Copies of this chain bind each other. A is one copy, B any other.
Amino acid sequence: MSLIVQKFGGTSVGDAGKIKNVARRVVDTKQAGRQVIVVLSAMGKETDRLQALADEIDPAPSERELDMLLSTGEQVSISLLAMAIHALGHEAKSFTGYQVRIVTDSSFTKARIVRVDADRIQRELDQDRIVIVAGFQGMDENLEITTLGRGGSDTTAIALAATMKAEVCEIYTDVDGVYTTDPGVVPEARKINCISYDEMLELASLGAKVLQIRSVEFAKKYGVPIHVRSSFNDQEGTWVRKEDSSMEEVIVRGVAYNKDEAKLTIKQVPDRPGLAANIFSTVAAANIVVDMIIQNVGEDGLADITFTVPQSDSQQAMDILDKLAQEQDMGEVKCDTKIAKLSVVGVGMRSHSGVAAKMFQSLADEGINIMMISTSEIAVSCVIASKYTELGVRTLHTAFGLAEAGS
């Protein structure tokens, strides 16, 4: 009998009525002759409610205790779904992360799954039960409760699909699938029928918010097909799966943008060996992740080094760099938070040239200045002034013909 993992997000289980809808969908799948494992997030705004309670008590709470608190959200939704399935006359049992031995490392609030014990789940499936597992949570080797970070339920679902060798992992959400770009910015954005793991990874890391990056990495590693679809209708959504030759026919699969970065520039960095390494290791030591980097060497032999960091870390990065600049005879440090990164992604780029040139030209035609550029095998990104974000996204979406029917 084929096995399917179905994951439902917070909006899909937002109240009792919606939980009953999920129960009906799960039971339908079961009655169609499949074994079903369901993974749930917490109900609607429950995680936010719990977080607010914590904030009232301690603005910087212990991460261990935060995980203890937040993991209750999924435990509530799984038990309610089990009840709703019982009410429809079917067998189901809910399990917390520790009960099915979702073992993680000990990084509270952002733990990584180390392994999952298939035995307990298999035993329940063998008894013809629907198995419901709390998403987002696990436990470490010391029985401490951990959570996987926002969006972690996707990772739980895919880890279970990989461990239990499911045919597919369905991710139910409040949108119809993955779009060629944000439909809020470009109304003509089209649902993508099929996308490769690598494209999905690039889109997710470049700003698209449908799937957690780690969950896609997991799916790619174990070859689990993902089907992202709406919990409110029965239409096909977007399949995320192993790349095949037909995928290369589309040069650009989607356009992503990210307004959450800031650009830092250190002027007049002396040309001394190890100085650039010194800058970036100092920033890394503060756990600040650097994204794009460029260096311009002037005629005087002094370099301007520019790079981007998450906006939320930019003030801390400035403080660190100001201190370093004084110690090491560097020039002024400047920060620009009014930037955005636009990216085009597609595996077709590997075999088609001219994507970058077309991107730069399209933006130039609209008078949008490009401050920084970076490329990977299947993506090109440009940093521009944030006020041009929407115009830039629309321009690229049209330039690469994404509104037209394709796959």
Give the B-binding residues of A (Cβ under 8 A): 16, 19-20, 50, 53-54, 56-58, 61-62, 64-66, 68-69, 71-72, 75-76, 78-80, 82-84, 86-87, 93-94, 96, 98-99, 143-145
- Cα distance, A94 to B143, chains bound together (Å): 12
B72 touches A86 (CB 8 A): no
A16 touches B75 (CB 8 A): no
Q: Which residues of B contact A96 (CB under 8 A)?
A: 68, 145
Q: Which residues of B contact A144 (CB under 8 A)?
A: 99
- Cα distance, A88 to B82, chains bound together (Å): 40
- Cα distance, A94 to B50, chains bound together (Å): 16
Q: Which residues of B contact A145 (CB under 8 A)?
A: 96, 99
Q: Which residues of B contact A54 (CB under 8 A)?
A: 79-80, 83
- On whether A83 and B98 interact (CB within 8 A), knowing A72-B72, A75-B72, A78-B68, the answer reads no
B57 touches A84 (CB 8 A): yes
Q: Which residues of B contact A57 (CB under 8 A)?
A: 16, 19-20, 80, 83-84, 87
A83 touches B62 (CB 8 A): yes
B143 touches A99 (CB 8 A): yes
B62 touches A82 (CB 8 A): yes
- Cα distance, A65 to B69, chains bound together (Å): 19
Q: Which residues of B contact A69 (CB under 8 A)?
A: 75-76, 79-80
* A86 closest partner in B (C-beta): B62
* A69 closest partner in B (C-beta): B79
- Cα distance, A94 to B87, chains bound together (Å): 35
A64 touches B50 (CB 8 A): no
* A78 closest partner in B (C-beta): B68
Q: Which residues of B contact A61 (CB under 8 A)?
A: 83, 86
